[in-house]
Amino acid sequence: MSDSAVKNKILAVITLEMNRVSGGAPIFLATTEEEREKTARYLGRILDAAVHDLENGSYIIVAH
């Protein structure tokens, strides 16, 4: 488990508020909550990764 810190990685960000995110991971802009939910679900399934809600308008997809 000690190497989990290295393995955990943000693969993508799905956000409603484009001005609150930036950086290295791909960012997907959603216009509605439903769209955000759907995009996150698809990306999570495609990337075999977990979806986490930062509760600030952004979802992140994290590989554990």
Q: Which residues bind another protein (CB under 8 A)?
A: 1, 37, 40-41, 44-46, 48-53, 55, 59-60, 64
CB 41 to another protein: min, Å: 6
CB 24 to another protein: min, Å: 20
CB 5 to another protein: min, Å: 13
Using H for helix, E for strand and C for coil, what is the string for the chain?
CCCHHHHCEEEEEEECCHHHCCCCCCEEECCCHHHHHHHHHHHHHHHCCEEEECCCCEEEEEEC
